[in-house]
Structures are given as structure tokens and as C-alpha cells.
Structure 1
Amino acid sequence: MSSSQTPALDGVEFTYDWYERALVWLSDHGYESSSFEGDVGDGDLLLRHDVDLSPRKALEIGRIEADLGFRSTYFFLVSNPLYNVFDAVCRAVIDEIDALGHDVGVHFSTHQHWSRRPSPEELRERVTSERSALSLAAENVCDPVSFHCPPEWVIDRTFDRLATTYEPRFFSEATYVADSGQRWRESHPFDTRLSERVQLLTHPGLWGETDLPYTERVTSSIDENVGYAERLLTDQHLREKFDPPVELPEREPAADR
């Protein structure tokens, strides 16, 4: 596979437009989206999204991918203090992501459960419990799990009866490219030659209609989630009639929120 840049991809911007152009670039260079639940072959592009900050932005990216014919996997953090997967709006987001043809899975935080390395049995049991919980909010939950802020002991390792996105076939045996901390500003994701198979990880909360630096983007996502919780709790406790909002988010307007 070739990795020479096109002018359209010079200089990374954390915008939906740049992400869309990156997908087109990958398609033009012979890559096709694949799933973490199937066999991995040459030309496979594994699109992974760890939903740490913003389900709404996850849906926005999912719509872009579907419009281009791409399939990806969205991993939701069940233990997230910022959003609630059982909230009506979040469930509607998950439902549409699934309806668009994408996979939904568990983004598992070992740090919420242990300060030590658990046994494989303990790990498998906790992951299974969170997968069961997510299945109450999502009609279809895939088997593979994505680790949140992964400890070293999960990297490039295969677990018995537990599929993960850090298995060698998805990690060391592929080109692994991640936008963590918006690191692509300093190191272009396609500067080095890509292998025959690629795992591309993004965090939807770091992206938007306009380009914003990492700290501002994270702060904006926090403010959005806190504002939603404030409005919801105000409706529940300070108004005479409670009518929970369940409408799906519209496509994001020109100004980033």
C-alpha cells in the first residue's frame, strides 16, 4: 500500500472535513473497512472509535463514514462519569449508529475496577458484566473490547475467551494509528509507510466542525455534557412537568459547539 501524501491531507486539522478527506485518501490507496469480529487480511482498514467524551460527535462521525460506505466500531465507556449510556438521548444515538451499519462495543476501564493486574478470569468476568449492561442500551453489542487508557499488560496480548482491539493481529501485526491527545498535530498519521492492514483509532470528542486545540476541545465536551445534565435535572426536579428529550441530535451546524 502506498502512503504518499496528497496536498489535501497536508497538515492535520481535527475537523469532520479533514477526517472525511482522510477516509477518501485511504480508500483511494486501496483500503477497505473491516470488522474486529472477522478475519483480518491485506487491505483491511479497522476503524475504531473510543467514545470517551461525546456520543453526539460519535454519531456525527458515524454518519460521515456511512455516507462514504465505511463501517467502523464505536466503543462506549459504560463507567463514564460524563455521559450515561442508558439515557434516552444516548440510547437513540447508539441505535442510529447501529442502524448505519456500524458495530457497538464496550470501552472498558480497568482503572475503575483494580489498582493491580487482575487475573484473566477476573478481567473476563468484569468485561462480560459491562457487555451485559451495555446490551440493555444497545440492541447489538460486539464481542471485542477496547481498553480505556490501556495498561501495559493488555498491549499486544491475546487473552483466552476475550477478544480485544490490542491483540497482535490488530496491533503489532498491523499499522496502529491513534489520535490520542491530538498527537497527529506533531506527527502526521500517514507520514510513515502503512502496512497492508491498518487500525485507525480516533476519539470523536476531539473532533468538530472547526479545528480546536486539545485542551479547548476536551473542555468544550465536558461543558456540553454538564450542560445537558443540568437541563435534564432541572426538568426533573424544578419543573412541574417532566418530559425527557429523546430527539436525535441533528447534523452539526457550521459553528462548533
Structure 2
Amino acid sequence: MDFTVKKYKELLKSLVNQNYTFQTFDEFITDPSSKSIVLRHDVDLLPYNSLAFAKIQAEHNIKGTYYFRAVPESWNEDVILEILDLGHEIGYHYECLTTCNGDLKKGIRDFEDNLMALRKLAPVSTICMHGSPMSKYDSKDLWKTYDYKNYDIIAEPYFDVNFENVFYLTDTGRRWDGHKVSVRDRVQSSFNKVFHSTDDIINKIDTLPSTIMFTFHPQRWNDNTLLWTKELLLQNTKNIVKKLFFVQKQHPLNQS
């Protein structure tokens, strides 16, 4: 079975055995290693799933980056503090134009308020857009008018990583080739490697590039059969809806 915590542990072990340096996103931006992996986690839902990932990584002396949304289903202060205490980076998973219906002025105030609240719990030096695939608003558009670096933010992955040089793997769509059903979690890349399952990655682990960013949505990974099946059915339905009604509208020429 894929997308279980057991399978995640297998993936992590295989990466460790390749002697990568695991860096937080902040560390990667400020002092990138020549052979490094950034483990990015979008805490969209079920924050205790992210805490489980953070504990597994800490057992291997690995650090990752965890982006929290400013909504009740993500923002759990006990979890944020515990993940921070484990040595991981905390970041803000902003979706301000979605929550503010495209209003730029309200959106930047929402960003400022949520960033300030998160910084009361943890240092925050990086941010990352939450895709909100069912919304017509792309929160990255906030930065066409404003500049996140004015808020002591050093980087945002979709703006500050050259994915022509950094291999990007994301479990968007509950699959590793989810670009076909992704509305906004897309990057321009020169790499021609495509994987579908976690086992595909593990079996080809020695062929991976020297610099990689993984994006995980830990709510998708579960050892509980009932919850695993529920997430599978839900995500498959979402994939169909996204591809038919959202992806084809925004990316009509990229449907391979």
C-alpha cells in the first residue's frame, strides 16, 4: 500500500542511505549544500499527521519545513510548538486572496495579521502559497502589488527556487505525477524524470538528482485502513473535478 506512514519511513530511509544533506528551506536559501534535500510539508489538514512526520524525521536527526495555514483545520498551536521544539522550521502557508475574495488590500492585511500571530509562536523566515484549487484566486498574485521581502521573509518556493536546477517532487493529487491534476502546484523544470508511486521513487533512488525539494501533504498518509480508504476516495474524486473544471481552463496546452 502506498501513502502509508510505513511507506513514508521506507522512502525516508532510502534517502538517508544516499547520503543527502537534509536542509530546511531557510537553510537551503541561505547556505545550500551541494547534495541536499528540502522536505517541505504543507499542513493543509490534520496537523497531528504532520507532527507524526516531524517525530519520524527527528528520530533520524533530519530537519524539515512545515507550512501552516491560518485556519482551524491546520493551525494547532500545540502542534506548531512541538514541531518547532523538534528542530524543524515553521512557515506560513498563506491563502490571502482566496480568503479575502481577491481584495488586495484586505489580503495584505490578512497576511500581516496571520504572519504576526505565527511569529508569536515561532520564527518565520519563509512562506509558501496554499493552492486553493477550487478558488479562482491565486494568492501568489498578491506579490504583483506587494513585496513579501518587506516583511523579513527571505524566500517563497514558487518565486525563489530555480526548479531547472532543483528537482521537484510533490504528492499533490496523492500521486507523484500529479502535475496532470494540479491547478497551482506546478513548476517549470528541465528534468524528465516522472514517478507515479512512492515505490517508483525508492526503486530509482540512486538515479535522483543531487538537489531535490519534496512536498508532502501529511494528511494523505495514514496507516489506518479506514482513514486511508477515505482519503483515497476523496482525492480521486477531487482529481477528476480539478482536471475537468480547473486544470483544463488554466493549462489547456499542458494536458499530457
Whether contact under 8 Å (1:34, 1:46) holds in the other structure is: yes
Q: Is 1:199 aligned to 2:213, yes or no? A: yes
CA distance in 2, matches of 1:77, 1:218: 22
Matches within 5 A, 1:118-157: 118=104, 126-136=110-120, 138=121, 140-149=122-131, 154=140
CA deviation after TM superposition for structure 1 residue 168, in Å = 4.3
Deviation string 1:159-204 (CA, Å, 9 cap, x unpaired) is 6614212234264430111111211387135259432211111011
AA partner of residue 203 (structure 1):
H
CA distance in 1, matches of 2:232, 2:85: 28
Q: Greater helix share, 1 or 2?
A: 2
Larger radius of gyration: 1
Q: State the partner residue of 1:72.
A: 64
Q: State the partner residue of 2:156.
A: 164
Superposition CA RMSD, Å: 3.3
Q: Which runs of 5+ in 1 are unaligned?
A: 1-11, 221-257
Q: State the partner residue of 1:188.
A: 197
CA distance in 2, matches of 1:171, 1:153: 20
Whether contact under 8 Å (1:14, 1:212) holds in the other structure is: no
Q: Is 1:82 aligned to 2:73, yes or no? A: yes
AA partner of residue 221 (structure 2):
W
Q: 1:178 aligns with which of 170, 185, 188?
A: 170
Deviation string 1:89-115 (CA, Å, 9 cap, x unpaired) is x22221111111111111111311343
Q: Which runs of 5+ in 2 are unaligned?
A: 178-194, 235-256
Matches within 5 A, 1:43-58: 43-58=35-50
SS in structure 1 at match of 2:209: coil
Q: 1:29 aligns with which of 4, 12, 18?
A: 18
AA partner of residue 134 (structure 1):
L
Distance change (3 Å), C-alpha of 1:203 and 1:148 = same
Q: 2:231 aligns with which of 217, 240, 248?
A: 217
AA partner of residue 175 (structure 1):
F
CA distance in 1, matches of 2:163, 2:99: 24
Distance change (3 Å), C-alpha of 1:219 and 1:112 = farther
CA distance in 1, matches of 2:72, 2:138: 24
CA deviation after TM superposition for structure 1 residue 37, in Å = 1.4
Whether contact under 8 Å (2:169, 2:176) holds in the other structure is: no
Identity of aligned residues (%): 24
Q: State the partner residue of 2:98.
A: 111
Normalised TM-score (structure 1): 0.65
Q: 1:98 aligns with which of 84, 94, 100?
A: 84
Whether contact under 8 Å (1:177, 1:200) holds in the other structure is: yes
Whether contact under 8 Å (2:129, 2:139) holds in the other structure is: no
CA deviation after TM superposition for structure 1 residue 82, in Å = 2.7
Q: Aligned residue pairs: how many?
A: 197
